[in-house]
Amino acid sequence: MPGEGGEAGEPDRAGEGVSPGEGRETAEAVEAVFREERGLLLASLVRRFGDLDLAEEVTSEAIEAALRHWPAEGVPARPGAWLLTTARRRAVDRLRRDRAYAARLAVLAADAERAEPAPAPDVSGSGQGFGSGSGFGSDELPDERLQLFFTCAHPALAAEDRTALTLRCLAGLTTPEVARAFLVPTATMAQRIVRAKKKIREARIPFRVPGPDELPGRLPGVLQVVYSVFTEGYAASSGPRLQRLDLAEEAIRLARILRRLLPAERESAGLLALLLLVHARRDARTGPEGEPVLLEDQDRGRWDRPMIEEGRALVVRALTGGPAGPYGVQAAIAALHDEATDVAATDWPQIVALYDVLRTLTPSPVVEVNRAVAVAMRDGPGAGLALLDALAGEPRLRAYPPYAVARGDLLGRLGRDGEAAAAYREALELAGTEPERAALRRKLGE
């Protein structure tokens, strides 16, 4: 992979082709290739043919062909070029069979060509290898995923559809996997994806990267999609499990791709930093029964130090060279927590100062709740409680359990146990996951 970092846990890829007889390993290698690079291939085909459905169809056909041929014949020297060539041939065949479809796409393709000529990949089959840890994107295909990110996260699509499309087209998840991630039936998710693709096609949402003047308006939407994948994975909003790690890791993978594609954007560094600095605490965040463990009670020895170091380096990038964005500021807050040996040693004045910046960038009652908790740590529980009580009328906090939990904690620290119990019971009614409810019942001594 080009750029810094690379893909964590990325499997080593076959070097100069695999000889026949290593079938099982080869099949796994092929799946890994597609898991990682499906989006790369899809983006290239979308660029060439201007049609997401066709691109998806022939991408799937190409991988099926690879699964059939490679175990017997060996992985070609340039697997990426092989897959792209196979997919392109299937697309051309399809267009020859269906003239009306081809005529419609010809208009789209012409538009795309005008915008930027599609590169013609080398199909000779010789040349650079696939190995030395680099994906075929770096040496066989230009990385054209950025435009697909912007299409999938287009503001003309419903927010839930943006997330689903991004997971499918760029993370390479299958529709059943996306459905499982969001705890909806596969048929429901399939309908949602079909509807979103129909809108892209028929309203002609373009496959393009916004120009420099539009980018500040459009980038937050793309980052938001990745962030919402992460938060959905990090704290499942409903259901028995508190964390769905696979989604959080998908989000980090997507954030890494965006970071590589947009190296000059501080917020792409800020988002990746934030995800890493929060995800670094994953092992300490839940107890043996799956119950949530508060930051102050977490075993900090179980935090992922290399991940924290990677995140901290990115925070520096996110905060230098201009005004910080909301992801950079949130990452800086997360970094301060991650750097502290315990709650007492945490730099609360600095955290309050960062929340002061964040509330101007993205004002919201949730930011105010977090700021109030930080103020309580800096100035004492009474000061924090006064700020929380001032938020009592906020409609958005009525269904937000952390607000009631924070009030309960501060009331408890002030010795107002009866009121604390009332606040915990309020949170208990709102809490979405069973581990959260169990933790609240323990606070209540039930």
Partner 1 sequence: MKYMLLIHSGAVDEQGGAPQCTVEDWMAYDKDVRDAGIHVSGESLADLVTATTVRVSPAGERTVTDGPFAETRELLGGFLVIDVPDLDAALDWAARCPGSRDGGSVVVRPVADFGA
Pick the closer one to partner 1 by CB: 205 or 428.
Answer: 205
Minimum distance of partner 1 from residue 206's CB (angstroms): 4
Are the C-beta atoms of residues 33 and 79 closer than 8 Å to each other?
A: yes
| Residues from 110 through 129 that contact partner 1 (CB under 8 A) | 111
Minimum distance of partner 1 from residue 113's CB (angstroms): 13
Please give the structure tokens belonging to residue 32.
Answer: 């890994």
For residue 204, state whether it binds partner 1 (rule: CB under 8 A): yes
Minimum distance of partner 1 from residue 362's CB (angstroms): 23
For residue 8, state whether it binds partner 1 (rule: CB under 8 A): no
Minimum distance of partner 1 from residue 104's CB (angstroms): 5
Number of residues near partner 1 (by CB under 8 A): 14
Print the binding letters for residues 139-158 with partner 1: x by CB under 8 A, - otherwise: ---------------x-x--
Pick the closer one to partner 1 by CB: 215 or 357.
Answer: 215
Query: Which residues are CB-contacts of 239 (< 8 A; sequence separation ≥ 6)?
Result: 183, 432, 433
Greatest pairwise CA separation for the chain in angstroms: 78
Pick the closer one to partner 1 by CB: 156 or 158.
Answer: 156
Minimum distance of partner 1 from residue 105's CB (angstroms): 10
Are the C-beta atoms of residues 247 and 232 closer than 8 Å to each other?
A: yes
Closest Cα to residue 291, out of 446, 443, 444, 438?
438
Are the C-beta atoms of residues 140 and 121 closer than 8 Å to each other?
A: yes
State how far the Cα of 441 lies from the Cα of 424, in Å rounded to an integer: 8
**Of the candidate residues 100, 120, 344, 345, the single one contacting partner 1 (CB under 8 A):** 100
| Rg (the chain; Cα; Å) | 24
State how far the Cα of 296 lies from the Cα of 397, in Å rounded to an integer: 23
> Phi-psi region for residue 272, left (φ > 0), alpha (ψ -120 to 50) or beta?
alpha
Pick the closer one to partner 1 by CB: 101 or 400.
Answer: 101
Minimum distance of partner 1 from residue 114's CB (angstroms): 9
Pick the closer one to partner 1 by CB: 194 or 399.
Answer: 194
Please give the structure tokens belonging to residue 186.
Answer: 């596969």
Pick the closer one to partner 1 by CB: 53 or 419.
Answer: 53
Q: How far is CA 57 from CA 61, 63, 284, in A?
A: 6, 10, 42
Q: Which stretch binds partner 1 (CB under 8 A): 34-42, 203-211, 327-335, 343-351?
A: 203-211
Minimum distance of partner 1 from residue 141's CB (angstroms): 24
Pick the closer one to partner 1 by CB: 89 or 104.
Answer: 104
**Of the candidate residues 208, 300, 378, 413, the single one contacting partner 1 (CB under 8 A):** 208
| Helix locations, 51-98, DSSP H | 52-73, 79-97
**Of the candidate residues 5, 6, 206, 365, the single one contacting partner 1 (CB under 8 A):** 206
Q: How far is CA 121 from CA 138, 189, 341, 396, in A?
A: 13, 34, 52, 52
Minimum distance of partner 1 from residue 203's CB (angstroms): 5
DSSP letter string, 310-344: HHHHHHHHHHSSSPPPHHHHHHHHHHHHHH-SSST
**Of the candidate residues 104, 282, 359, 413, the single one contacting partner 1 (CB under 8 A):** 104
Pick the closer one to partner 1 by CB: 154 or 162.
Answer: 154
First-to-last C-alpha distance (Å) of the chain: 52
| Helix locations, 170-304, DSSP H | 175-181, 186-202, 215-234, 245-261, 266-279
Pick the closer one to partner 1 by CB: 157 or 420.
Answer: 157
Please give the structure tokens belonging to residue 93.
Answer: 């065949």
What is the chain's length?
446
For residue 94, state whether it binds partner 1 (rule: CB under 8 A): no
Q: Which stretch binds partner 1 (CB under 8 A): 76-84, 97-105, 280-288, 294-302?
A: 97-105
Closest Cα to residue 163, out of 95, 227, 72, 81?
227
**Of the candidate residues 203, 245, 316, 392, the single one contacting partner 1 (CB under 8 A):** 203
Pick the closer one to partner 1 by CB: 70 or 207.
Answer: 207
Q: Which stretch binds partner 1 (CB under 8 A): 10-18, 124-132, 201-209, 241-249?
A: 201-209
Q: Which stretch binds partner 1 (CB under 8 A): 56-64, 204-212, 345-353, 436-444?
A: 204-212
For partner 1, the binding residues (CB under 8 A) are 100, 103-104, 107, 111, 154, 156, 202-206, 208, 210
